Amino acid sequence: MKTSCCLYPGSFDPVTEGHLDIIRRAAGIFDRVIVGVLHNPDKKGLFPVEKRVEMLRRVCEDLPHVEIIAYGGLLADLTREMQIPVVIRGVRGMADLESETAMARINGQLNPGLETLFLPAASGKEDISASMVRQLAAFGADLSAYVPKKVLPDVLAAFSKSI
């Protein structure tokens, strides 16, 4: 089946410049990009899901073919329900590649026919992660290279309360 639609799933806690780069590149390939805020049981959340969705909507407002949703279940079920045949994941290095390959295989077993495509992190963005951003923010470091300008105040505000 040929497709013009993909799902870009993640925790997005918060959205980073690395995520935004993948979203923009996916939007250059697919007619419709659905960014899904999904639950990662291995990660303790900082922002509530509604806030992550709202921040993603703000940073993607200039991308007309990108929509943001939240989903509390399995990625395989979401893609089946919405009939999305392709998942996009960004890969920053070999460690990502290993875990992402396992996840892609499991998702393909749970939803046969679902394909996962990997986009390599752009040069200069391969070390950006939301967990790194959260840690830097907790220590008051400059986040301007890592977090989209439109959500920087939200990230700073989250930590100014907790310090």
Instruction: Give me the residues that bind ligand PNS (CB under 6 A), please.
Output: 9-11, 38-40, 43, 74-76, 103, 106-107
**Residue 161, Cβ density class (10 Å: 0-12 exposed, 13-18 middle, ≥19 buried):** exposed
Which two structure tokens, joined as six digits, stand for 3? 């497709």
Beta bridge partners of 119: 90
Q: How far is the CB of 104 from ligand PNS (least distance, A)?
A: 8
Q: How far is the CB of 90 from ligand PNS (least distance, A)?
A: 9
Q: What one-character DSSP code corresponds to residue 96?
A: H
Q: Which is nearer to ligand PNS, 8 or 30 (CB)?
A: 8
Q: Is residue 36 within 8 Å of 22, Cβ to Cβ?
A: no
Q: How far is the CB of 73 from ligand PNS (least distance, A)?
A: 7
For residue 7, the SS3 value is strand
Q: How far is the CB of 152 from ligand PNS (least distance, A)?
A: 19
Q: Which is nearer to ligand PNS, 10 or 148 (CB)?
A: 10
Q: How far is the CB of 40 from ligand PNS (least distance, A)?
A: 4
CA 108, CA 40: separation in Å to the nearest integer?
18
Q: Which is nearer to ligand PNS, 2 or 86 (CB)?
A: 86
Q: Which is nearer to ligand PNS, 107 or 151 (CB)?
A: 107
Strand pairing category for 5-10 and 32-38: parallel
Q: Which is nearer to ligand PNS, 17 or 107 (CB)?
A: 107
Alpha carbon distance, N-terminus to C-terminus of the chain:
51
